[in-house]
Amino acid sequence: MEMKEQDLEAEVHCLKSQRDRLSKINVLNTAFHIWKQGSFGTINGFRLGQLPHSQVEWSEINAAWGQVALLINTLADCLDIQFTLYRIVPVGSHSFIHCLDTGAELPLFGSGGFKPFGQKKFDEGICAFMECFCQLQRNIERAQFRFPHRMYREHIEDNKMEYSVKMQFNAEERWTKAMKCLLINFRWAISYVVHSKILRTEAAFL
């Protein structure tokens, strides 16, 4: 009888330990809540986009980019990925990307409204960010995982339509759509990381 009680206590202890490990893994879903608000994609409540009939302050857009910068670094750490060309530096609403070859810094924030000819440095920062995400994507897709939106260079596809992440020569609606698709892909990346971590945790438990 005493042996059975000890075995039961040991099993309960192991289950609690497993639950604690899984809770730490699932914190990704709560720390980076990606959702949608009408035509906008959101991360932790911040809208990432701009529409003619629904103006979003740059402070909110920049805050969203700060969250996205932190998220991609977190996912890269979980997957032991080091970006080859850039280092993403999340600093809230003034996050930026450091170019490893030239030492240049590219902003992941903008200001002054949606300009017809874009914001060149900001566009360069977004394109550099896309290169990092594509590296993350290639790593994940080695496991036969597929994202809902194909991404390459500065382009994202949705239903065979191509959208540019650049602001230059772009319509607000199309840029906002590209940002929404980007966030959807991030949501899938979180799901992949959480699922793979759970599988590894369960394997270690066994």
Q: pLDDT 10s digit of each residue in the chain, 206 long?
A: 555 566 556 655 655 555 555 455 568 888 999 999 999 999 999 999 999 999 899 999 999 999 999 999 999 999 999 999 999 999 999 999 999 999 999 999 998 766 655 689 999 999 999 999 999 999 999 988 999 999 988 999 999 999 999 998 899 999 999 999 999 999 999 999 988 865 454 444 44
Q: Which pTM was predicted?
A: 0.84
Query: What DSSP character marks residue 104?
Result: -
Mapped onto helix, strand or coil, the DSSP state of residue 68 is: helix
Q: Which fold has domain 2-205?
A: Actin-binding Protein, T-fimbrin; domain 1 (1.10.418)
CA distance 186 to 136: 10
Q: Sheet harboring 86-89: ordered strands across?
A: 86-89, 96-99, 105-107
